[in-house]
Structure 1
Amino acid sequence: MGVMPDDETRTPTLGEAPATTAPPSGRTPPGQRPTGPSPWFLRLVMAGLVLAALNLRPAITSLGALLEEVRDGLGMSGSVAGVLTSVPPLCFALFGVMAPRLARRFGAGAVVCAGMVAIAVGLAVRPFTGGAAGFLAASALALMGIAVSNILMPVIVKRWFPDRVGTMTGLYSMALALGTALAAAVTVPMTDALSGSWKAGLALWGVLAAVAVLPWTALVRDRGNAPGQPAAHRRKGPAPRITRSRTAWALASFFGLQATAAYITMGWMPQIFRDAGVSAGTAGLLLAVTMAMGVPLAFVIPRVASRMRNQGPIAVFLSACGLVGYAGLYLAPAAGAWVWALLLGVANCAFPLALTMIGLRSRTGAGVVRLSAFAQSTGYLISIPGPLLVGVLYQHSGGWGLPIGLMAALMLPQMIAGVLAGRDRTIEDEC
């Protein structure tokens, strides 16, 4: 394992967009045209990344906080509600596949802008559709916007900040974690402040998505190459099949297994604590602590990972935290509840690590688009059965021994996949 120079100063590899540099005075020398975007424009892109990331999870976690009220209000059966909770990873997998083709045709900025519009419309409309079918359709619209934006966030980072992949990945990963925790924490109090109207409480999240549309309108017409990247680096002819890359498969497996653990944690951890004798309020607070751990660590981990030639040791550490956390849930769920919640919160930070490796395992922006789409779409497909299987094991075994055993067992292949995905190589080498 070697340590690289700071990701903001390292020399790009062959095919990677070089960083644009400016003279110390901040002014372009006489007779030389500026080759990169202006600082204000980069700040606008940065604001767009943060606002977009804040909107990539509230559609899910705000609904979870009011699921009982939504079921009663729309007359949903338990089966329909179960389908509703399993729709997000399915939509992420199906719609995420569309992102590379859309980005090639319209540009990544335009697609993310359209994604924010879809999220805003879907969230604003779904509470007022008047039935379960309309609610599901509007939710699918919002999730489609989230899916394509999920895929293209690493692409935007690679395009506009090729010399700061770790820093910018950490910034939007932190914003994503903040949006996740914020929607879970404030949706119910916000609904209570609106005279208990769950419709208004859910629809208000559409306002945040509408605000996120604004900075992306400046990137709608941007369809060119990364700043400073010569035309010779643009791929000509058909691209090699990414399925030939072992690193791509390892990264997809790592992404899928960490997503499995995250959805199991969000869906079932409060019930584990409640069955162990912890009060409902405390169980919800423990979940909030687990989710909140992702806010600072989602910024730190990508920065550290981008300075290392091999990210495998970080994947091993995070999986080990998960193993200890699950062992604690099995042996003493109530006595050490806060410790296990903290450890599982650290383990859940495999998500920003996966996003960082997507940006590092390809030399070009085009490669990042393909790798991001493949790893995330395949990964979300892998994650679908996990939460359902935990529920089946819990129902048929009558306890949490077998489900927790399954959760712990999944940490081992996640660890192996992380080691393989973290090796210092690119998909271009393998394809």
Structure 2
Amino acid sequence: MENVSTRRSGQALLVWGLLVVAANLRASLTGVGPLLDQVQADLGLVPAVAGLLNTLPLLTFAALSPLVPRLAARWGAERLLGGALMVLTLGIALRWVPVAAGLFTGTVLIGAGIAVGNVLLPSLIKRDFPTRVGMLTSAYATVMGGVAAVASGVAVPISEVAPGGWYTALGCWVLFALVAVLLWLPQMRAPRRAVQAVRGHRLPWGSGLAWAVTAFMGLQSLGFYVVVTWLPRFLQDNGTSAATAGWLLFLFQAVAVLTSLAVPGVMRRAGDQRVLAAICSAVMFLGYLGLLVAPGAAPLWSVVLGLGGGACLVLALAFIGLRAQDANVAGALSAMAQSIGYLLAAAGPVVFGLLHTVSAGWRVPIVVMCAAAAGQTIVALAAGGGTVRPATGEVPDRVPAPR
């Protein structure tokens, strides 16, 4: 009886640890956009250099994600994640230093810490909670998105009232990161598991299903970062005030968080996720199409994009665990999907902005986003079912596949 109670307590502590880690995976990123004008003016940065504050973390995700399985095999997933949280904490603390070197160095370190968390969380959930992948993925995506939305909403108010202004608004999240480090310490001290979540490091480049999951991850990430970067500007060009545009961006993220809560229940009732993923991707298409043909109703389309985007994020993260045969494959698939996916996401806002400049309007870039959403709808039909198996020569973990 005592062993059962101890095991349950350990699992509860692990779940809380995972959720607090998830809460730190976006907040330090989404708070930058609302403060970018202040940062640029105070440090004398040209627009292209200031834009790197949004692009550098995504490029860091793409560069480091393929390395995470190898590092986890060497040090253990729990210890590696703990080290990543410490790097993340250091990066946020460096942002509190009001100089350009601290800001950009901190941004790279933040990207490195988040990259490890992005890859490891799906594989840890697959390993320790193989029959609850959908529910826990939704939980951590909801926490991640909810805190990110709050961070974008409170960034400017904090900068206006706190000593230090914008750099306090960016650096104050170090307290949240320290809480995550403290909650994760018991996992770092625990003995290494007999079965490591990501002990292999062969990424499934030869699997068509793995490429479908990767494409779905990349396209939904591209959509999210394009909307977060450019929706306020689009709204302002169509007559919305800057303050209202900021709140509509918050609305987009808030609706996405609420939508993510409903996904697990639908997933449990479905044999696979093909139809669900295709419908949610089609909702994204509808949102972009609405911006194209009826820009005056942009607040409505912000809600529509949030409805589709929140569901697609949860599905993209859940596919990593649901499509993988075991936790080892989940780690490799996570590294592949997130490296390519975030590389695509990093290019998205840049290409969207370039098309806006070249075409002197919003029609061409929004047509491109309609095409991306249509492609995501097609890819969803492949990514929503099937199993990615270990690469040749790898031994699968003995973990039951989730239904």
Asked if TM exceeds 0.5, the reply is: yes
Q: Which amino acid aligns with 1:392?
A: L
Alignment pair present for 1:136 and 2:136: no
Paired residues of 1:53 and 1:179 also in contact (CA < 8 A):
no
Structure 1, gaps ≥5 residues long: 1-26, 29-33
My pick for the range that moved more, 80-89 or 395-404, is 80-89
Q: Which amino acid aligns with 1:147?
A: A
Paired residues of 1:123 and 1:139 also in contact (CA < 8 A):
yes
Alignment pair present for 1:373 and 2:342: no
Displacement of 1:401 in angstroms is 0.7
Match of 1:217 in 2: 185
The structure-2 alpha-carbon separation of the partners of 1:239 and 1:142, relative to structure 1 and needing over 3 Å to count, comes to: closer
Q: Deviations over 1:126-164 (max 9, x none)?
A: 23162x233211110111000000100111211221221
Displacement of 1:366 in angstroms is 0.8
Aligned mates of 1:297, 1:219 — CA distance in 2: 31
The structure-2 alpha-carbon separation of the partners of 1:160 and 1:421, relative to structure 1 and needing over 3 Å to count, comes to: same
Paired residues of 1:159 and 1:225 also in contact (CA < 8 A):
no
| Structural mapping, 1:91-106, within 5 Å | 91-106=60-75
The structure-2 alpha-carbon separation of the partners of 1:176 and 1:247, relative to structure 1 and needing over 3 Å to count, comes to: same
Match of 1:164 in 2: 132
State the secondary structure of the residue aligned to 2:32. helix
Match of 2:48 in 1: 79
Aligned mates of 2:368, 2:135 — CA distance in 1: 34
Paired residues of 1:289 and 1:342 also in contact (CA < 8 A):
yes
Paired residues of 1:305 and 1:356 also in contact (CA < 8 A):
no
Paired residues of 2:209 and 2:386 also in contact (CA < 8 A):
no
The structure-2 alpha-carbon separation of the partners of 1:295 and 1:96, relative to structure 1 and needing over 3 Å to count, comes to: same
Alignment pair present for 1:148 and 2:116: yes
Match of 1:354 in 2: 316
Match of 1:339 in 2: 300
Q: Deviations over 1:42-96 (max 9, x none)?
A: 1111111111111111121111121111112222111211222211211111121
Q: TM-score, structure 2 length as denominator?
A: 0.91
Q: TM-score, structure 1 length as denominator?
A: 0.86
Paired residues of 2:283 and 2:304 also in contact (CA < 8 A):
yes
Aligned mates of 1:309, 1:184 — CA distance in 2: 37
Structure 2, gaps ≥5 residues long: 394-403
State the secondary structure of the residue aligned to 1:348. helix
Aligned mates of 1:95, 1:226 — CA distance in 2: 23
Q: Which amino acid aligns with 1:346?
A: L
The one of 128, 138, 145 aligned to 1:177: 145
Aligned mates of 1:226, 1:178 — CA distance in 2: 32
Paired residues of 2:218 and 2:341 also in contact (CA < 8 A):
yes
Aligned mates of 1:303, 1:73 — CA distance in 2: 48
Q: Deviations over 1:244-267 (max 9, x none)?
A: 111111111111111111110000
My pick for the range that moved more, 58-67 or 400-409, is 58-67
| Structural mapping, 1:296-335, within 5 Å | 296-334=258-296
State the secondary structure of the residue aligned to 1:427. coil
Match of 2:241 in 1: 279
Alignment pair present for 1:268 and 2:237: no
Q: Deviations over 1:407-426 (max 9, x none)?
A: 11111111111111112333
Q: Which amino acid aligns with 2:38?
A: E
Q: Deviations over 1:18-48 (max 9, x none)?
A: xxxxxxxxx27xxxxx589611111111111
My pick for the range that moved more, 190-199 or 80-89, is 190-199
Paired residues of 2:219 and 2:344 also in contact (CA < 8 A):
yes
Q: Which amino acid aligns with 1:146?
A: I
Give 1 or 2: higher helix fraction. 2
Match of 2:32 in 1: 63
Match of 1:400 in 2: 362
Match of 1:206 in 2: 174
Displacement of 1:99 in angstroms is 1.2
Aligned mates of 1:100, 1:214 — CA distance in 2: 24
Aligned mates of 2:266, 2:71 — CA distance in 1: 32
State the secondary structure of the residue aligned to 1:384. helix
Match of 1:89 in 2: 58
Displacement of 1:429 in angstroms is 9.2
State the secondary structure of the residue aligned to 1:223. coil
The structure-2 alpha-carbon separation of the partners of 1:256 and 1:160, relative to structure 1 and needing over 3 Å to count, comes to: same
The structure-2 alpha-carbon separation of the partners of 1:208 and 1:239, relative to structure 1 and needing over 3 Å to count, comes to: closer
Match of 1:21 in 2: none
Aligned mates of 1:383, 1:83 — CA distance in 2: 14
What is the total number of aligned residue pairs between the two structures? Answer: 391
The structure-2 alpha-carbon separation of the partners of 1:412 and 1:379, relative to structure 1 and needing over 3 Å to count, comes to: same
The structure-2 alpha-carbon separation of the partners of 1:306 and 1:378, relative to structure 1 and needing over 3 Å to count, comes to: farther
Aligned mates of 1:112, 1:429 — CA distance in 2: 24
Alignment pair present for 1:388 and 2:357: no
Aligned mates of 2:174, 2:16 — CA distance in 1: 18
Aligned mates of 1:374, 1:35 — CA distance in 2: 37
Cα RMSD, aligned residues only: 2.2
Among all aligned residue pairs of Structure 1 and Structure 2, give the percentage whose two residues are the same amino acid: 36
